Amino acid sequence: RLWSYAVVRLAWRPRAMARRFREQGVHGPSYRFLTGSNEDVRRMKAEADGVELDLRDHDYLPRIVPHLVKWKHQYGSPYVYWFGPQPRICIFDYELVKQVLANKYGHFIKNDTHPTILAMIGKGLVLVDGSDWVRHRRVVNPAFAMDKLKMMTGTMVSCAECLIKKWEDQATYSKSREIEVEFSKESQELTADVISCTAFGSSFMEGKEVFHAQKQLQAITVATMLNVQIPGFKYLPTKQNRCKWMLENKLKNTLSRIIQCRVASKESGFGNDLLGVMLEACFTKEQGGKKGEQILSVDEIIDECKTFFFAGHETTSHLLTWTMFLLSVYPEWQERLREEVLRECGKGNPNADMLSKLKEMTMVLLETLRLYSPALFIQRKPITDMVLGEIKIPKGHAIIMPSPIMHREKKIWGEDADQFNPSRFQNGVTRAAKVPYALLAFSIGPRACIGQNFAMLEAKSVLAMILQKFSFTLVPEYKHAPVNCVTLQPKFGLPVVLKLLEVRNWII
């Protein structure tokens, strides 16, 4: 019986699905028993891995997703490929993407998640669906209101101030008034500090423990990304699974401790930050409507904390890293931004009102998000059979929307789509391309990123403060090799030389 089940699920069914897609004009690589397209993807990625790019060449897609690029040319859009025995329908057409992402009726839900990603980010706002999503989003929304974000700017600035002071001291004592730093590592630590302090208040050191456990889970995810998920395998005590369970426990224990600490001090209020807002909702019994009902359970709050720790720092740190990269490669833009910062913020610490006036910096950040979008794919699956354009997509089939490929569509973004040109955003994000929702870095529709204003404020504060104090260039040995590690990262980090603009008076 097991054998016939395997034959039906792993051989007959995928081939029947492929035939149905072909009949609708949707083509793609042929299905291989059990592994689907995974081996082809692995091979193409290995072949592309050695390719190094010129600093001004921003078309890294043939390096990191060679299969998607090749099959798009070969089979057109949309096409279908196979993740093990599961089909993945790749769409690139903005109209279809809008139909999926802007759907308000919950017809398209999040696709199944890799088990290690689930362990790393928890089943929080990013992954819940349906009425659970409504309940979670209702609780979390107030923490991201503009007045709260303005208050958080002070914390972002003081976290950045500590790091910049450290660099300033090191540079002041060096003969050449400059230092070399691995910016990508430093920015990850900085954004982890910011989310620890802004979302989880005083629990800063424990925040670091969460950060390190999530980093290790991320490494396991990257190592196992292309493995076929065999049912039941996640329960076997393999070395990797045991390591995953240990890290999962560590995460849970650390977060439970942070929460218990806060609950213990509830006499003085739960606090104004994200954790406080969630606990308030959890312990205020009547808020959900039904008396006695808790809006979020403690386990859900733990999962939400995992989500916000990860989503709150990982993406923003790469936005900062890629912006530093681009400003080093285009020094004329670095100078323009420095002039703007000195004009609007002076030489002191910026506040939220000053940051809101940095128009050119916003343009540069949006262009960075277009070319080096930290999140590479948006995925959904329909909860029922759906028609998308002219294609019938059966219930549960994964739909992949690779935003970085769409961000380079010349017919949408113009002939210079492959080039760095922040000026395309000078009339705002909705007028930068032929369609108003062309920038998908934060996604669109009801599930768009809740932290986008937070991320932009954080990136602006940190960049403004760096530009006030330092000029920067890449080290000559830098190798331009973006890589997909769940998010888009520089494979060999981002070593930069920071040169002090002014020497502090007391040294002279």
Q: Residues annotated in the binding site for heme, as ranges? A: 449
Instruction: Tell me the closest approach of the beta carbon of residue 151 to ligand HEM, in angstroms.
Output: 14
The residue from 277, 375, 433, 494 that contacts ligand HEM (CB under 6 A) is 375
Q: Rounded to an integer, what distance in angstroms lies between the CA atom of residue 282 and that of residue 254?
A: 19
Look up residue 470 and give its amino acid. Answer: F
Decide whether 120 or 455 has the Cβ nearer to ligand HEM: 455
In this chain, which stretch among 55-63, 159-167, 216-224, 306-314 interacts with ligand HEM, using CB under 6 A? Answer: 306-314
Q: Rounded to an integer, what distance in angstroms lies between the CA atom of residue 240 and that of residue 342?
A: 50
Cis peptide before 78 (omega within 30 of 0): yes
In this structure, the number of other CB atoms found within 10 A of the CB of residue 165 comes to 11
CB 478 within 8 A of CB 330: no
Decide whether 31 or 200 has the Cβ nearer to ligand HEM: 200
Decide whether 366 or 386 has the Cβ nearer to ligand HEM: 366
Decide whether 13 or 137 has the Cβ nearer to ligand HEM: 137
The residue from 315, 321, 421, 468 that contacts ligand HEM (CB under 6 A) is 315
The reply to whether 308 sits near ligand HEM by the rule CB under 6 A is: yes
The reply to whether 361 sits near ligand HEM by the rule CB under 6 A is: no
Decide whether 48 or 462 has the Cβ nearer to ligand HEM: 462
The residue from 68, 139, 319, 438 that contacts ligand HEM (CB under 6 A) is 319
Decide whether 403 or 471 has the Cβ nearer to ligand HEM: 403
The reply to whether 405 sits near ligand HEM by the rule CB under 6 A is: no
Decide whether 215 or 392 has the Cβ nearer to ligand HEM: 215
Decide whether 412 or 449 has the Cβ nearer to ligand HEM: 449
The reply to whether 316 sits near ligand HEM by the rule CB under 6 A is: yes
Concatenating the DSSP letter of every residue in 419-446 gives S--GGGGTT-GGGSSSSTT---TT--ST
Q: Per-residue b/e over 304-317, b at no fewer than 16 CB within 10 Å?
A: bbbbbbbbbbbbbb
The reply to whether 382 sits near ligand HEM by the rule CB under 6 A is: no
Instruction: Tell me the closest approach of the beta carbon of residue 368 to ligand HEM, in angstroms.
Output: 9
Task: Show the tokens assigned to 3.
Answer: 């054998």
The reply to whether 187 sits near ligand HEM by the rule CB under 6 A is: no
Q: Rounded to an integer, what distance in angstroms lies between the CA atom of residue 302 and that of residue 83?
A: 31
Concatenating the DSSP letter of every residue in 97-142 gives HHHHHT-SSS-EEEPP--HHHHHHH-SSTTT--HHHHHHHHHHHGG
Q: Binding site: what residues are annotated?
A: 449
Instruction: Tell me the closest approach of the beta carbon of residue 362 to ligand HEM, in angstroms.
Output: 13
Q: Which residues contact 350 (CB under 8 A, 6 or more apart)?
A: 153, 157, 341, 344, 460, 461, 464, 465
How many residues in total does the chain contain?
508
Chain positions 120 to 179 lying near ligand HEM, rule: CB under 6 A, are 125-126, 137
Look up residue 269 and give its amino acid. Answer: G
Instruction: Tell me the closest approach of the beta carbon of residue 227 to ligand HEM, in angstroms.
Output: 22
Decide whether 200 or 478 has the Cβ nearer to ligand HEM: 200
The reply to whether 366 sits near ligand HEM by the rule CB under 6 A is: no
End-to-end CA distance of the chain: 84
How far, in Å, are 165, 196, 484, 490 from residue 363 at the CA level? Answer: 27, 28, 25, 22
Chain positions 68 to 127 lying near ligand HEM, rule: CB under 6 A, are 125-126
Contacts with ligand HEM, 425-454, as mask; x by CB under 6 A? ----------------xxx---x-xxx--x
Chain positions 25 to 64 lying near ligand HEM, rule: CB under 6 A, are none
Q: Per-residue b/e over 107-122, b at no fewer than 16 CB within 10 Å?
A: ebbbbeeebbbbbbbb
The reply to whether 461 sits near ligand HEM by the rule CB under 6 A is: no
Instruction: Tell me the closest approach of the beta carbon of residue 10 to ligand HEM, in angstroms.
Output: 28
Task: Show the tokens assigned to 151.
Answer: 């208050």
Using CB under 6 A as the criterion, which residues of the chain lie in contact with ligand HEM when the complex forms?
125-126, 137, 307-308, 311-312, 315-316, 319, 374-375, 378, 441-443, 447, 449-451, 454-455
